């Protein structure tokens, strides 16, 4: 299934891309995907799926948009 | 008195006199500095009902015990007075060399009273105060004024100045400092202008009294280096505050088209990545090692310093997505001394009002040239529309009528910052209960709402989080007077601040001690409002009505079909009041005032409004 991954803020420079589409097997979770795009797991982050915070372990679906962002605290 | 200079400088522009006044250790410990000093002084010295733009108002610059001392990020000052935009207590926080220079001159605060006979620049050097003519730059923008001052005194002095907007009493005129700093969006630039005070220049040569100066020097310098290292590792300052724009767009929190929309396919054109790519220089405040001011070339080739709030509100909110064009609008606001946030919201309100037939006009969303022209008309109060818009969106809506107040994006007369709360209940509450009108500096809960609870919740956990953040952001950082960014953006521990406080004052306080101070100051601000608005009620703490409007929902995206619900918001507000110890109007109860050590101030307020 096709999933779009979008990085936010300094993650773009730190992990080398801004947005990309990935073809992943069915049943892939958000956590699996973070590993696939080589994001440092220890970094504090907020992951949203189609604009809503991801529930740990939830499986992704065809066409999902996963956004991985540092935890902003509002200027 | 270690930690404080122990003195306030009181200047009267009418009589051209000044006085160095001592304050007690009790006063220092009870109010600490910055916002604490400002609200206590204004409460004690201003008669309720005075005209904020008249000579009876006072312009205050207040510093805190760590202000100006090399440590993370202490180059900040609080500017305060009765607000021309809200009629309540107003203040702002500005990056400036005044923080260090005024403390070195021997003062923790400056009170400016009266009204000068002609345009004036106040020059303070230690015990000397001069009232100098400023006719040469009256009518000029802040850039020319700043250069004029630098040419006279060099760049090491502390400077606060205003542009044409402050001179012409635009109710959301700011104070400016350095080349790109602004503060006091509650109209503190207009308070200066009303006094014909074009600029304050400060030079100090004394040392700041500290309990352990050698220890503070070592810790301060080590910590500045450490904050720099952490920032480089986290990469925050690559995009600085504008990194959040793309995220807001993804989670439907971006202001687009006067907050009618929450996201836009062209938002990427002005996001943090594009801003970083267009960067020509980076600026910061004194004592900062994680500088956030990114400049780009605007449409006219000028250097314009951008951050998220001004990009969000002068860009997508006006349906303008071209960075150089946004840079031009930002440059004009900075030069005129117009608050970029209120400026953006006032323009978007005007375009929306025309769009909805509330008022005739040719201005439209996306109109860059029209926006530039309007900013000039506002700053000069030129023509009928320049004059109306210079009053801010709340007063303009009263003039336009036709229900336009519902989409004037303001609370208590101060325009909201760049977070669209169409369906973010906790952040809507944060805007609603911000004690100076809608401002993001007091509390910011969006990430908490999405990650640690649910967006749908109106539960007490959100009210508690708003309070927790108010104690830190609107409390600690506003009275100890330092920038909140090291803590907010790169995770610099809050425990560092009692450590700095102990090194300068010798007092061994915990964060809980500080939270009591924060609550005391918030209560005092509420008492200030009660005196001004004795008939106050909880509706003053409601966000703009359009966020409750079912006709305004998104038709697609993450919050399609969703909007804030009035009854539920009111319940969330009540949670906030209950947790704070406020009554149903949002005023602290007598028991709360007693607990916070301000019962006497409460009794003084009772002459004007009831306490329960």
> Residues 6 or more apart from B355 whose CB is under 8 A from it?
B364, B365
* CA dist., res. B443 & res. B424, Å (int): 13
Chain A contact for B489 (CB, 8 A cutoff):
yes
Q: What are the tens digits of pLDDT across the range B445-484?
A: 999 998 888 999 999 999 999 999 999 999 999 999 999 9
CB environment B579-599: b (16+ within 10 A), e (fewer): ebbbbebbbbbeebbebbebe
Give me the mean pLDDT over the B504-511 stretch.
Answer: 98
Give me the mean pLDDT over the B333-345 stretch.
Answer: 98
Give me the mean pLDDT over the B507-525 stretch.
Answer: 98
Q: Let me know: does B341 contact B241? Beta carbons within 8 Å.
A: no
Task: Write out chain A residues lying below 8 Å of B446, CB-based.
Answer: 72, 74
Q: Let me know: does B289 contact B225? Beta carbons within 8 Å.
A: yes
Chain B contact for A56 (CB, 8 A cutoff):
no
**pTM score, whole prediction:** 0.98
How would residue B304 be classed by pLDDT, with cut points 50, 70 and 90? very high
Q: What are the tens digits of pLDDT across the range A26-73?
A: 999 998 988 888 787 788 889 999 999 988 788 999 999 999 999 888
> Residues 6 or more apart from B370 whose CB is under 8 A from it?
B362, B363, B364
How would residue B245 be classed by pLDDT, with cut points 50, 70 and 90? very high
Per-residue pLDDT for B153 more than 90? yes
* CA dist., res. B120 & res. B7, Å (int): 24
Task: Write out chain B residues lying below 8 Å of A18, CB-based.
Answer: 273
- Chain B's closest residue to A65, CA to CA, is B250
* CA dist., res. B83 & res. B60, Å (int): 12
Rounded to 10 degrees, what is the CA torsion of B288, B292, B297, B301? Answer: -50
Question: Which pLDDT score, from 0 to 100, does residue A74 have?
Answer: 76
Question: Which pLDDT score, from 0 to 100, does residue A75 have?
Answer: 73
Task: Write out chain A residues lying below 8 Å of B557, CB-based.
Answer: 51
Specify the 3-state DSSP secondary structure of B171.
coil
Among A6, A71, A75, whose Cβ lies nearest the Cβ of B241?
A75
Nearest CA distance, A73 vs chain B (angstrom): 6
**Main-chain dihedrals φ then ψ at residue A17, nearest 5 degrees:** -150, 165
Cβ contact (<8 Å) for A69 and B252? Answer: no
Question: Which pLDDT score, from 0 to 100, does residue B44 have?
Answer: 98
* CA dist., res. B464 & res. B268, Å (int): 34
Per-residue pLDDT for B433 more than 80? yes
Question: Which pLDDT score, from 0 to 100, does residue B414 have?
Answer: 98
The residue among B466, B427, B388, B17 whose CA lies nearest residue B171 is B388
Residue with tokens 């409007």: B549
Question: Which pLDDT score, from 0 to 100, does residue B80 have?
Answer: 98
Cβ contact (<8 Å) for B273 and A18? Answer: yes
Per-residue pLDDT for B175 more than 80? yes
Question: Which pLDDT score, from 0 to 100, does residue B394 have?
Answer: 98
Question: Which pLDDT score, from 0 to 100, does residue B324 have?
Answer: 98
Question: Which pLDDT score, from 0 to 100, does residue B17 have?
Answer: 98
How would residue B190 be classed by pLDDT, with cut points 50, 70 and 90? very high
**DSSP letters for B518-542:** HHHHHHHHHHHHHHH-TT--GGGG-
CA angle B300, B301, B305 (to 5 degrees): 100
CB environment B334-361: b (16+ within 10 A), e (fewer): bbbbbbbbbbbbbbbbbbbbbbeebbee
Chain A contact for B230 (CB, 8 A cutoff):
no
Give me the mean pLDDT over the B73-86 stretch.
Answer: 98
CA angle B121, B125, B127 (to 5 degrees): 115
How would residue B50 be classed by pLDDT, with cut points 50, 70 and 90? very high
Task: Write out chain A residues lying below 8 Å of B272, CB-based.
Answer: 8-9
Q: What are the tens digits of pLDDT across the range B556-604?
A: 999 999 999 999 999 999 999 999 999 999 999 999 999 999 999 999 9
Chain B contact for A24 (CB, 8 A cutoff):
no
> Residues 6 or more apart from B23 whose CB is under 8 A from it?
B4, B6, B7, B8, B108
Question: Which pLDDT score, from 0 to 100, does residue A38 have?
Answer: 79
Q: Let me know: does B161 contact B118? Beta carbons within 8 Å.
A: no
In what helix (H) or strand (E) does residue B60 lie, and over which residues does it extend?
A: strand B59-62
Give me the mean pLDDT over the B94-108 stretch.
Answer: 98
- The half-sphere exposure of B410 on its side-chain side, counting CA atoms within 13 A, is 30
Catalogue all structural domains in chain A, each as residue range(s) with its CATH number: 2-70 (3.10.20.30)
Q: Let me know: does B580 contact B588? Beta carbons within 8 Å.
A: yes
- Crossing angle of the two packed helices B460-469 and B566-580, in degrees rounded to 10: 50
Of A15-29, B105-119, B218-232, B352-366, which range is least confident?
A15-29
In what helix (H) or strand (E) does residue B182 lie, and over which residues does it extend?
A: strand B181-183
> Residues 6 or more apart from B366 whose CB is under 8 A from it?
B318, B319, B320
Percent of chain B with pLDDT over 90: 98
Q: Let me know: does B224 contact B285? Beta carbons within 8 Å.
A: no
Q: Is the reported ipTM for this assembly greater than 0.85? A: yes
Q: Let me know: does B544 contact B408? Beta carbons within 8 Å.
A: yes
Give me the mean pLDDT over the B493-504 stretch.
Answer: 98
Per-residue pLDDT for B269 more than 80? yes
Cβ contact (<8 Å) for B440 and A75? Answer: yes
Question: Which pLDDT score, from 0 to 100, does residue B77 have?
Answer: 98
* Interface contacts (A, B; CB < 8 Å): 90
Question: Which pLDDT score, from 0 to 100, does residue B112 have?
Answer: 99
How would residue B373 be classed by pLDDT, with cut points 50, 70 and 90? very high
Task: Write out chain A residues lying below 8 Å of B419, CB-based.
Answer: 74
Question: Which pLDDT score, from 0 to 100, does residue B362 have?
Answer: 97
- The half-sphere exposure of B591 on its side-chain side, counting CA atoms within 13 A, is 6
* CA dist., res. B580 & res. B583, Å (int): 9
How would residue A14 be classed by pLDDT, with cut points 50, 70 and 90? confident
Nearest CA distance, A6 vs chain B (angstrom): 9
Give me the mean pLDDT over the B433-452 stretch.
Answer: 94
Q: Let me know: does B126 contact B205? Beta carbons within 8 Å.
A: yes
What's the token pair of residue B533?
Answer: 């608005």
Among A9, A14, A46, whose Cβ lies nearest the Cβ of B272?
A9
Give me the mean pLDDT over the B4-11 stretch.
Answer: 98
Per-residue pLDDT for B426 more than 90? yes
């Amino acid at each position: 299934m096709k999933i779009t991954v979008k990085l936010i803020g300094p993650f773009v420079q730190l992990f080398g891309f801004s947005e990309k589409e990935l073809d992943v097997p069915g049943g892939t979770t958000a956590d699996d995907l973070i590993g696939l795009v080589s994001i440092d797991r220890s970094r504090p982050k907020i992951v949203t799926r189609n604009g809503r915070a991801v529930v740990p372990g939830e499986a992704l679906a065809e066409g999902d948009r996963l956004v991985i962002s540092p935890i902003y605290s509002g200027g | 008195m270690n930690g404080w200079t122990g003195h306030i400088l009181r200047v009267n522009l009418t009589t051209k006199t000044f006085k160095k006044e001592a304050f007690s250790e009790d006063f220092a410990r009870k109010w600490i500095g910055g916002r604490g000093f400002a609200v206590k002084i204004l409460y004690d010295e201003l008669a309720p009902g005075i005209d904020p733009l008249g000579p009876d108002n006072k312009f205050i610059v207040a510093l805190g015990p760590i202000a100006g001392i090399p440590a993370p990020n202490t180059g900040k000052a609080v500017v305060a007075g009765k607000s021309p935009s809200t009629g309540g207590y107003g203040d702002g926080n500005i990056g400036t060399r005044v923080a260090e220079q005024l403390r070195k001159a021997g003062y923790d605060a400056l009170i400016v009273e009266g009204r000068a006979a002609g345009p004036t620049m106040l020059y303070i050097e230690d015990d000397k105060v001069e009232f100098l003519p400023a006719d040469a730059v009256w009518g000029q923008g802040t850039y020319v004024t700043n250069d004029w001052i630098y040419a006279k005194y060099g760049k090491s002095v502390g400077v606060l100045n205003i542009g044409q907007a402050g001179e012409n009493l635009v109710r959301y005129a700011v104070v400016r400092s350095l080349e790109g700093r602004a503060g006091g969006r509650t109209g503190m630039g207009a308070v200066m202008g009303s006094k014909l005070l074009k600029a304050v220049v400060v030079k100090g040569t004394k040392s700041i009294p500290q309990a352990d100066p050698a220890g503070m020097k070592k810790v301060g310098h080590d910590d500045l280096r450490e904050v720099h290292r952490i920032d480089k590792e986290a990469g925050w300052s690559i995009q600085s505050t504008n990194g959040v724009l793309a995220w807001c767009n993804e989670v439907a929190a971006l202001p687009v088209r006067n907050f009618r929309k929450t996201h836009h396919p062209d938002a990427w054109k002005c996001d943090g990545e594009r801003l970083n790519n267009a960067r020509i220089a980076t600026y910061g405040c004194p004592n900062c090692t994680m500088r956030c001011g990114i400049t780009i070339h605007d449409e006219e080739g000028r250097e314009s310093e951008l951050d998220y709030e001004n990009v969000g509100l002068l860009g997508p909110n006006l349906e303008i997505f071209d960075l150089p064009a946004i840079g031009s609008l930002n440059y004009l606001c900075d030069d005129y001394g117009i608050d970029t946030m209120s400026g953006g919201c006032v323009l978007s309100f005007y375009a929306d009002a025309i769009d909805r037939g509330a008022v005739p006009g040719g201005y439209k969303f996306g109109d860059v040239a029209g926006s530039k022209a309007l900013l000039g008309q506002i700053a000069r109060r030129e023509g009928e529309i320049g004059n109306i818009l210079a009053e801010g969106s709340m007063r303009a809506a009263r003039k336009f009528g036709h229900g336009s107040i519902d989409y004037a994006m303001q609370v208590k007369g101060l325009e909201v910052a760049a977070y669209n709360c169409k369906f973010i209940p906790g952040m809507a509450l944060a805007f609603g209960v911000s004690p100076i009108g809608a401002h993001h500096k007091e509390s910011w809960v969006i990430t908490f709402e999405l990650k640690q609870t649910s967006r749908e919740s109106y539960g007490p956990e959100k009210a508690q989080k708003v309070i927790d953040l108010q104690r830190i952001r609107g409390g600690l950082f506003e009275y100890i007077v330092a920038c909140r960014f090291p803590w907010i953006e790169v995770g610099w521990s809050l425990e560092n601040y009692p450590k700095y406080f102990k090194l300068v004052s010798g007092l061994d306080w915990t964060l809980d001690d500080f939270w009591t101070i924060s609550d005391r100051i918030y209560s005092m601000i509420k008492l200030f409002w009660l005196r001004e608005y004795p008939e106050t009620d909880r509706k003053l703490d409601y966000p703009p009505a359009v966020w409750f409007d079912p006709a305004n929902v998104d038709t697609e995206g993450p919050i399609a079909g969703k909007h804030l619900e009035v009854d539920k918001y009111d319940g969330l507000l009540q949670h906030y009041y209950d947790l704070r110890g406020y009554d149903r109007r949002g005023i602290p109860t007598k028991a709360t005032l007693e607990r916070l050590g301000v019962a006497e101030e409460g009794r003084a307020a009772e002459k004007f409004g009831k306490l329960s």
